[in-house]
Structure 1
Amino acid sequence: MTACATETTTVRRAGFTIAADGSYAACLAQGPEGDDGWYPERWTLGGPEPYTVPLPGNQPEEQCSEVMPLPDGRVLIRRRVADRFDLALLYPTGPGTGELLVGSLPGGEAEARLLPPIASGEAYALTYDPAREVSAVWLVHDDRDLRPRRLAEVPGRCGGGAWLDRAGRLLALDREAEGTVKTVAVDLERAGAVSPLLQITEESNDRLLLAEPDSGLLIVRSDATGEDRIGWGVLGSRQPMRFAECLRVPDAVLTPFAAQPGQVLMPEACAVALRADGPHGTSLAVWRPGERRASWLSAPEGWLAGAGLWSARGVLRLPYACAHCPCGTVEYEAPAAVSSPSPAGSAAEGAPPAFPDGGRTSPVLPLQKAPLATGS
């Protein structure tokens, strides 16, 4: 989970990303005067109190650099250097910062960015080559091979990026082709086999915003109804996509950033946290797909907006930094779920959402030309 730049009276931070297991986070930080430029910063979140460790290098970082925390406490950084993208591991070494170069990705006119963290500790990146009009998925760090390895190529320009499982096999990407955006699934264990995941109508732009692997819950944004709406469905279900009426907020853009794990049989009961950006600033909402209302909460002062993590028992943890507390987290209990019959879109016959063949061949059942449902 990554947050955009946030101002405080002491330190400015950008690109805040939390490890999948919640143990660490990392971001780029800049002092109040900005004279020293940007530097990587690691947050330790797994102990009784969070604390930060600066990881400055020999020279300031560009704000376009990306950082990702790893479960072992190191931080992976992606830098643009001349005609390539360099990758390095950063770690504290007493008063200084240790750095281990782990390879490079193609540069030139190409684009490159890190994909969301996964619990195994492996790190992946997505590149796009405009000359060939091809996107590529790379394994850029694991415990066996320190050099980047290309795993898959996908025709077209791909954005987004959400893991459909916890093992790092199935990756969902939003692919732009022939003027529309559709979400596809890439199977990294089958030589990058690509299959449709989200195709509501032929003409609609359908993007996957968030996926929760335990329950199979998918949160999407689509204009299939004639306007951009947030909807939800379940991986492997044949039920139609549903669009949440309570998430239609005038003059505000809602973006889901975290979903409650562990709800294997109840995707409609997963608590989803959303960031709302509007003319009066940024606010926080919690919503369950099976309910017809959202709960609006007051975000903490200095919230690194768009960053947060749910626990399986329904506690939302948000990081913040302000003049009174340069590094902190606050916890919110999810509002109690309202008991109601399972709506359309739940896993069929109460079975846990699963890949149709157990994940051995085709990874998903695409939501294609499905009748649209609204109201929840």
Structure 2
Amino acid sequence: MTTVCALAPQAAEASETSEPPPVPAPVLAVSADGAYAARLAGEGEARYPERWTLGGPEPYAVPLPLAQPEEADSEVLALADGQVLIHRRVADRHEFSLLYPSGAASGPRTGEFRLGSVDAEEGLRVRLLPPPPDGCGAFALAVGAGESTVWRVAGGSGGPERVAVVPGRCSGGVWLDRTGRLLALDREADGRTKAVAVDLGRGGVVSPLLQIAEDSDDRLLLAAPDSGLLLIRSDAPGEPRLGWGVLGSERPVRFPECLRLEDAHPFAVQPGQVLMPETCGVALRVGDGGLALWRPADRYVFRLGAPEGWLGSGLWTPDGRLCLPYATPGVPCGVVSLSQPAAPPPPVRVDPPPAPAPRPVPLQQAPLG
């Protein structure tokens, strides 16, 4: 699948350089179906995985500690079946395990199923990818000096399985379809970064995805498989800007003025809006703990105060409710939900402006016929 998006006519030429702003990692990672979430709880050298159950009438958390505390750079990912995948750097390898609560006569315990490891070669960076939309399995991206490898680390036939090798250094990671087959990565090559589509069902065949301008950096930040909505960051307008397009559409990428937000990162998009990308709600992290809501059809951004203790992630329901998990000393596991506010009506413009009404002439000054 290939989508080559042009630049909207009003945009300027591409800038010479474009460094992406650092994307803050959410403290709480939500599963693909929104039923579970996971995070590293605790502080300092006493960290442990914690699983949140979000699919019931009330959210609740279950700690999953093991004999040894976890390192601060360990990653966790909640799976659709309630297990928690953990990625650890251990000596000369990257280890992956599944954690789950296990009842015992002496009290609750944590079960661990070791999945295997990937060698930690010099200069190799390994991180977990977002969960695929079908909820089946989990993947990791290993970035080396000249190539990037996609590993299936859970849900396969055995241990970690190499499913794709992409020439160049890749970042990002966005799923384009509901089956977990098409993965978008931002590939750096020849001094430019372009989003490409990797077909995991065909052995990792790579095809172009974004090509807004020949000398622009075009990154994919978020996608809604149901509607085809794409959230993009590109310097094609002359500076790095947030824009949106539609997967498979011939219409150009648009860069709304209302999305000129400093340090803004989209983190959730409304599902279920089949063939209606303009109606999808989008949630963005703005600055240090700020929150913004936007919808393409409204052309207006709502700046909101995030709830106290917000953990930086969330998910939309198909009916347009945004659920935001938070943790405070008084409420260690909570979720607040809100709806997309109604956008103000656009200003009424009359072009050309109406001519001024003629001044009434007093009767005694009126010409007589």
Shift, 1:338, TM fit:
7.7
d(CA) in 2 for partners of 1:217, 1:338:
23
d(CA) in 2 for partners of 1:336, 1:105:
49
Find out whether 1:59 has 2:68 as its counterpart.
yes
- Counterpart mapping for 1:318-357 below 5 A: 318-336=324-342
Find out whether 1:181 has 2:190 as its counterpart.
no
Shift, 1:290, TM fit:
2.3
Find out whether 1:115 has 2:95 as its counterpart.
no
Q: Which runs of 5+ in 2 are unaligned?
A: 1-22, 347-369
Match of residue 304, structure 1, among 304, 311, 314: 311
Deviations 1:98-145 (A, max 9, x none): 111011112122111111012332111111122xx1101111111x51
Query: Structure 2 counterpart of 1:25, which letter?
Result: A
Query: Structure 1 counterpart of 2:296, which letter?
Result: P
Overall identity of the aligned pairs, in %: 60
Shift, 1:336, TM fit:
3.6
Shift, 1:4, TM fit:
5.2
Deviations 1:215-264 (A, max 9, x none): 00000001111111000000000110000100113xx2111000001111
d(CA) in 2 for partners of 1:242, 1:114:
30
Tell me: CA distance 1:146–1:338, structure 2 relative to 1, closer, same or farther (3 Å): farther
Name 2:352's counterpart in structure 1. Answer: none
Name 2:151's counterpart in structure 1. Answer: 138
SS of 1:117's equivalent? coil
d(CA) in 2 for partners of 1:96, 1:320:
25
Query: Structure 1 counterpart of 2:184, which letter?
Result: A
Shift, 1:293, TM fit:
0.9
Find out whether 1:206 has 2:206 as its counterpart.
no
Q: Which runs of 5+ in 1 are unaligned?
A: 6-13, 341-376
Find out whether 1:315 has 2:330 as its counterpart.
no
Query: Structure 2 counterpart of 1:293, which letter?
Result: Y
Query: Structure 1 counterpart of 2:265, which letter?
Result: T
Shift, 1:326, TM fit:
0.9
Name 1:8's counterpart in structure 2. Answer: none
SS of 1:198's equivalent? coil
d(CA) in 1 for partners of 2:292, 2:159:
41
CA contact (8 A) 1:4 1:304 kept: no
Deviations 1:162-189 (A, max 9, x none): 0000111000000011111100000011
Deviations 1:30-88 (A, max 9, x none): 14xx3x52111111111111111111112111111111111111101011011110010
TM-score by length of structure 2 reads 0.83
Query: Structure 1 counterpart of 2:144, which letter?
Result: D
Name 2:297's counterpart in structure 1. Answer: 290
In angstroms, what is the RMSD of aligned CA positions? 1.7
Name 1:236's counterpart in structure 2. Answer: 248
d(CA) in 2 for partners of 1:23, 1:125:
21
Name 1:127's counterpart in structure 2. Answer: 142
Match of residue 202, structure 2, among 190, 193, 200: 190
Which of structures 1 and 2 has the bigger CA Rg? 2
**Across the two proteins, how many residue pairs are aligned to each other?**
318
d(CA) in 2 for partners of 1:15, 1:79:
17
CA contact (8 A) 2:258 2:300 kept: yes
Deviations 1:242-293 (A, max 9, x none): 00100113xx21110000011112101111001100xxx4211110112221
Name 2:269's counterpart in structure 1. Answer: 259
Which stretches of structure 1, 4 residues or more, deviate above 3 A after TM superposition?
336-340
Tell me: CA distance 1:338–1:313, structure 2 relative to 1, closer, same or farther (3 Å): farther
Shift, 1:337, TM fit:
6.4
Find out whether 1:219 has 2:231 as its counterpart.
yes
SS of 1:291's equivalent? coil
Tell me: CA distance 1:209–1:123, structure 2 relative to 1, closer, same or farther (3 Å): same
CA contact (8 A) 1:84 1:106 kept: yes
CA contact (8 A) 1:25 1:44 kept: yes
Deviations 1:145-175 (A, max 9, x none): 1311111100011000000001110000000
Find out whether 1:98 has 2:111 as its counterpart.
yes
Match of residue 46, structure 2, among 6, 12, 37: 37
Match of residue 75, structure 1, among 75, 84, 96: 84
Name 1:171's counterpart in structure 2. Answer: 183
